[in-house]
Structure 1
Amino acid sequence: MKKFDSQLTQNLFDKGLITENQFDEVKTYRSLNIFSLNAELKLFLYLSVLLFTSGIGILIYENIDSIGHIAILSLLLIVIAVCFFYCVKYSKGFQKEETTFEHPVLEYLVLAGNILTCIFIGYLQFQYKPFGEHYGLATLVPTIVSFFCAYYFDNRSVLTIAITGLAAYVGLSVTPQTLLDNNDFYASQSLSYSAVMLGVLLILWTIYSQRISLKTHFGLIFLTFALHIISIASISNLTNYDILTWMVFGVILAGSTYYFYKASYDQKAMSLYVFMILYAYIGGNIFVFRIFENVDFSDFWEIFILLLPAYFVASIVIFIKLIKNFHKEISE
């Protein structure tokens, strides 16, 4: 790692992007072997928020009869008010460009307040049903609150909650594993098309935000969700017996692969590139299999078995080479 950093610094000096004095200062600083605990401390803060909000949920569940509904809701409301009071007090207000709090703890206070707001609204709906039987509103309201908090306080963690809530509102559970386990794309074509439309909506919003320079650093989050949603919905439908359905979703997956190939370079995002390749590889293999599924390969079965290990090895080698080339290109 040190050799890699030194080479990058040398490249900057060779290209004339830094002076000789700056080059010497960078080398001197790195020779001190100083390392940052910033990431580790933020991880502990994040875990603290999760443990605190989980503890609130467990407290409500185990003492719901003894404490009382009004007392629980009042306690939640007070904690939420305290969280947002300090966040608003020390925030810089809404700005189109990226902003940060002077103290990083406040970012996690926003996250805690937002999660507790979702718990409050969910508990209120479960116990008193202020939205009647319209349970979608109980999802939509905290989603709107989350989007507002994400943009006002410039918080990526809250933004992921907002996008997840939006997906839940249209009938999805936005986690790749739960998408496959809990959502029946095969039986419900409307759910599949809703997934694709949601992914396209996220892409269009990202493009629009880039044009008006509105929180452009949120783009990677929107695109990541869009990539997973569109790709998983498409791959799930490639196994459909209806030839028109799986061909349509094959075209959707191909278009998605092309777009996110371009987007990964624009965003210089390794994560987008890696998942794009994986989804394209899985979908491509299924698509080819569907095309030749009615062809009799009995005479070539032994050759196929012999070539299969070589195919997977070649796939791994090509995958590694693509990743290395991508990293090299975005680093230059």
Structure 2
Amino acid sequence: MTQFDEQATQKLFEKNLITEEQFVQVKAYRSLGIFSLYNELKLFLYLSVLLFTTGIGILIYQNIDTIGHVAILSLLLIVTVICFYFCFKNSKGFQKEDSSFENPVLQYLVLTATILSCIFVGYIQFQYELFGTHYGLATLVPTIISFFCAYYFDNKSVLTIAVTGLAAYIGLSVSPQTLLSNDFYTTDTLSYSAIILGGLLILWTIYSAKINLKIHFNFIYLTYALHLICIAAINNLFQGYWLIFAIVLGASAYYFYKVSYQIPAISLFVFTIIYAYIGINIIVFKFLEFINADDFFEFIMVLTPFYIIGSIVLFIILIKNFNKQKANDSIR
């Protein structure tokens, strides 16, 4: 058993929530090291969806001259309609609370249908300019379809596609491959748009929690909001009006720090600490530059290793306290 599992089981026993016999049985069961293959099977299903949709894209690219545009679009449409048919047929309908298919495979069928819909709209716009020169509509339409499918079929994977499409609609690129070359670094307007979008996502999580609408989606919205706001704010710390964005970064870090405990979500907590740490270091360097700390250069160099080690130790302590608090909350 892990340390936290042992502590949680021990506390249950100490509070007389389980008997001594049950306590021994739990320890014996966990010592067997048995694990579930459920997550592994879900991973393989997810990879199969990606491989299938990628294969369709490669097939289209390599045989576009021989197959023909109409045939390709017809094939895409037929496969998409078939996928949606089985999804709607087996769906329980829209529900505000957490709901799912009786057969988990259908969740991946929804993902497949959504991706194929995005491919279909993008292909028809590229080849026939269905929306004319309004290229934003070619992004907005798949985004709307993705939001509908995410909420109707209660699919988190589709929701990530929808939020990514929403960010792309306003000109943001949020993929890891394009992070370093993102227009955040060259266009201030996109930085403002990212902060505004992140703020709107936060407001939506608050509103959805108030009306009890797919509360389990809030983690995805908050994850996107955290990265959008913090990356944009850190980028603008290098501008002349950096103080405003230092306040934005500090306020967002405090908010996500509190929210990470409420959900709880270790990923939100870790990234919040990392972004706050980066922001603090940038501000410290700006302060040293402002006071012209060249005379204290040797002293700063001596303190730097201790500062780095202290930061690592503090980070580990914060993670341990978070996991401990999470374990205590689960016991309650």
Query: How many angstroms apart in 2 are the aligned matches of 1:146 and 1:167?
Result: 13
Amino acid at match of 2:231: I
Q: After the TM superposition, which of the residue ranges 286-295 and 266-275 deviates more from structure 2?
A: 286-295
CA pair 328-131 structure 1, distance change in 2 beyond 3 A: same
Q: CA deviation digits over 1:99-130, x for unaligned, max 9?
A: 12111111111111111110000001000111
What amino acid maps onto 2:120 in structure 1? Answer: F
Match of 1:121 in 2: 121
After superposition, residues 1-332 of structure 1 pair within 5 angstroms as 1-2=1-2, 4-18=4-18, 23=23, 26-27=26-27, 29-30=29-30, 33-176=33-176, 178-183=178-183, 185-240=184-239, 242=240, 244=241, 246-332=242-328
* Cα separation, 2, equivalents of 1:18 and 1:181: 55
Deviations 1:209-261 (A, max 9, x none): 10111010111110000000000001111112x2x2x1111111011011101
**Could you say if the C-alpha distance between residues 21 and 214 of structure 1 is closer, same or farther in structure 2, counting changes exceeding 3 Å?**
farther
Whole-angstrom CA distance in 1 between matches of 2:293 and 2:24: 66
Which ranges in structure 1 are unaligned for 5 or more consecutive residues?
A: none
Residue identity opposite 1:216 in structure 2: I
Structure 2: how far apart are the matches of 1:197 and 1:56? Answer: 36
Deviation at 1:295, TM superposition (A): 2.5
Structure 2 residue matching 1:63: 3-state secondary structure: helix
Count of equivalent residues: 328
Shift of 1:27: 4.7
Change (3 A) 1:83 1:314: same
Distance 1:202 1:283 in 2: 22
CA contact (8 A) 2:13 2:23 kept: yes
> Cα offset for 1:10?
2.7
Asked if the contact 2:4/2:324 (under 8 Å) is kept, the reply is no
Q: Secondary structure at the match of 2:273?
A: helix
Larger relative contact order, structure 1 or 2 (CA cutoff 8 Å, min sep 6) = 2
TM, length-normalised to structure 1: 0.94
Partner Cα distance (1:19, 1:232) in 2: 50
What TM-score comes out, normalization by structure 2 length?
Answer: 0.94
Q: CA deviation at 1:87?
A: 1.1
Question: Secondary structure, in 3 states, of the residue corresponding to 1:293?
Answer: helix
Name the amino acid aligned to 1:188. Answer: T
SS in 1 for 2:290: coil
Whole-angstrom CA distance in 2 between matches of 1:274 and 1:289: 23
Q: CA deviation at 1:176?
A: 5.0
> What root-mean-square deviation, in Å, do the aligned CA atoms of Structure 1 and Structure 2 show?
1.7
Q: Unaligned 5+ residue runs, structure 2?
A: none
Change (3 A) 1:7 1:331: closer
How far the C-alpha of 1:32 sits from its partner, in A, is 5.5
Residue 16 of structure 1, CA deviation: 3.5
Instruction: Answer whether contact 2:8 2:327 (CA < 8 A) is retained.
Output: no
Rounded to whole Å, the distance in 1 between the matches of 2:95 and 2:306 is 54
Percent of aligned pairs with the same residue? 66
